[in-house]
């Protein structure tokens, strides 16, 4: 099978400390490519401070000026310590893997696709189960999550339980970005890393393929109550609660007068971690194609975005109802891209975080990492945890549920501190 040349991705490093690194992608276009590239940039702990993109529908040219996220000095594939460099070669490899292969000279890619001659979509990655038995301690769940991120093991589902005597059983359903976990060497590498971090507290570490019976258990989890659903997904309530917060100054407008063939979408808003990814995944899920776009984040925390867009049929967005729906969707995704609530569940306190899932089935990366890091910083022990998928009004969400075993109800000030701490970590406001 043909592979794309690494020439499609070029990385030019900054001339001086503090200046952005320039990532240039020039390749055959495909639907959602901008979203996929922004997801990987976010995964590597980088923020886009400026961006330009253009396409004629066949070939695209994308330039991103990136800097390490504030407070996150390195990407998560290495131990997080101040001064560690970003692994640019690995980033380049991951970006190259996303780029389609150009059709041979004299052939049209659309013709090849219609004839079934293009490279087939890659098969779904194999699912594995990591079973950990250990003694509980502060920050345990985050430390395990960090190791899995370092190893490029993607967490698909989690079930964590703690017994009264302090023993912990962690079940991580994962896939391997390198697709090597079926080999003995790769499994031993993962086990050695986990043992080095958990030390004597680890009593059992097993890595096995997840059978169909195990995979079916991923869907067997408690449903969300109507009150919780209302808190997390009622857009009117969310907008009302968000007044006078960091995300309230959001402007999304459309203009059909400046171009004869494109609709101009203009966005002005406050910056947050993964902002460009949130915009690109939203237009992708709404079946909008970007012909030309530019993005700029100023030092005062404000961002400006211009997108010249068309519908899938190549026409301007003229329908007023569709314009309003798209503007409302973009405002909500920028106002609250992730939903964070703290509720009572019997005698326990439960933290719920909802992460929107793209139509492709992928979601924002490192959400569980950020949640567990925030809780570790807040000195909160996690008694139970699980990750599952939930469909709300035809949209799929990945919902993270974490229980704190409290002997008494948390005061309102501490509850607000937990919600604000987790939200700030997810949004890059910490």
Calpha distance 132→191 (Å, rounded): 10
Domain residue extents for the chain: 6-114, 126-218, 243-335
Range 176-191 average pLDDT: 96
Note whether 126-218 and 243-335 share their fold: yes
User: Residue 80 above 60 pLDDT?
Assistant: no
What pLDDT, on the 0 to 100 scale, is given for residue 355?
Answer: 97
Reported as a pLDDT band with limits 50, 70 and 90, residue 101 is: confident
Asked: is 243-335 a CATH 3.30.70.260 domain? The reply is yes
User: Residue 247 above 50 pLDDT?
Assistant: no
17, 73 contact by CB (below 8 A): no
What pLDDT, on the 0 to 100 scale, is given for residue 73?
Answer: 42
> Which uninterrupted H or E stretch holds 65?
strand 59-68
User: 78: exposed, middle or buried (C-beta count within 10 Å: 0-12, 13-18, 19+)?
Assistant: middle
Q: In what order do the strands lie in the sheet with 167-176?
A: 202-209, 128-135, 167-176, 153-162, 384-392, 395-404, 348-356, 339-345
**pLDDT tens digit sequence for 360-403:** 899 999 999 999 999 999 999 898 899 988 898 889 999 999 99
Domain 126-218: assigned CATH number: 3.30.70.260
Structure tokens at 429: 């406001």
**pLDDT tens digit sequence for 291-324:** 999 999 998 889 999 999 999 999 999 999 999 9
User: Residue 83 above 60 pLDDT?
Assistant: no
Architecture of domain 6-114: 2-Layer Sandwich (3.30)
Calpha distance 178→410 (Å, rounded): 43
User: Residue 256 above 50 pLDDT?
Assistant: yes
Structure tokens at 409: 């109800």
Closest by alpha carbon to 273, among 303, 237, 309, 243?
A: 303
Calpha distance 205→191 (Å, rounded): 7
**pLDDT tens digit sequence for 127-152:** 999 999 999 888 999 999 999 999 99
Q: How many residues does the chain have?
A: 430
User: Residue 1 above 90 pLDDT?
Assistant: no
Pairing of strands 9-12, 251-255: unpaired
């Amino acid at each position: 099978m043909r592979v794309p040349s690494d020439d499609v991705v070029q990385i030019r490093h900054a001339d001086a400390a503090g200046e952005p690194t320039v990532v240039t992608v020039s390749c055959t276009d495909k639907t959602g490519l901008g979203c996929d590239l922004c997801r990987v940039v976010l995964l590597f702990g980088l923020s886009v401070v400026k961006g330009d993109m253009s396409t004629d529908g066949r070939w695209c040219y994308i330039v991103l000026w990136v800097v390490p996220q504030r407070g996150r000095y390195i990407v998560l594939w290495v131990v997080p310590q101040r001064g560690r460099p970003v692994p640019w070669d690995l980033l380049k490899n991951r970006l190259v893997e996303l780029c389609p292969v150009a059709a041979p000279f004299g052939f049209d890619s659309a013709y090849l696709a219609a004839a079934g001659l293009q490279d087939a979509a890659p098969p779904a990655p194999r699912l594995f189960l990591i079973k950990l038995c250990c003694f509980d301690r502060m920050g345990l769940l985050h430390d395990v999550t960090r190791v899995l991120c370092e190893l490029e093991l993607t967490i698909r589902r989690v079930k964590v339980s703690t017994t009264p005597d302090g023993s912990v059983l962690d079940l991580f359903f994962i896939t391997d970005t390198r697709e090597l976990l079926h080999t003995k060497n790769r499994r031993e590498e993962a086990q050695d890393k986990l043992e080095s971090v958990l030390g004597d507290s680890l009593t059992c570490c097993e890595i096995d393929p997840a059978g169909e019976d195990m995979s079916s258990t991923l869907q067997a989890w408690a449903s969300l109550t109507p009150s919780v659903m209302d808190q997390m997904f009622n857009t009117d309530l969310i907008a009302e609660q968000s007044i006078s917060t960091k995300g309230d100054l959001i402007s999304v407008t459309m203009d059909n007068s400046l171009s004869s063939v494109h609709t101009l979408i203009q966005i002005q808003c406050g910056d947050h971690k993964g902002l460009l990814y949130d915009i690109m995944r939203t237009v992708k899920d709404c079946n909008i194609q970007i012909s030309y776009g530019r993005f700029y984040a100023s030092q005062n925390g404000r961002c400006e975005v211009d997108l010249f867009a068309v519908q899938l049929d190549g026409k301007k967005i003229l329908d007023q109802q569709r314009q309003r729906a798209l503007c409302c969707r973009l405002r909500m995704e920028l106002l609250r891209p992730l939903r964070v609530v703290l509720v009572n569940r019997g005698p326990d306190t439960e933290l719920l975080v909802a992460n929107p899932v793209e139509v492709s089935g992928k979601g924002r990366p490192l959400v569980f990492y950020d949640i567990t890091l925030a809780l570790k910083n807040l000195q909160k022990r996690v008694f139970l945890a699980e990750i599952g998928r939930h469909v709300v009004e035809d949209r799929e969400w990945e919902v993270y549920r974490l229980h704190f075993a409290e002997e008494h109800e948390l005061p309102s000030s501490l509850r607000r501190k937990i919600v604000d701490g987790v939200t700030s970590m997810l949004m890059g406001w910490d």
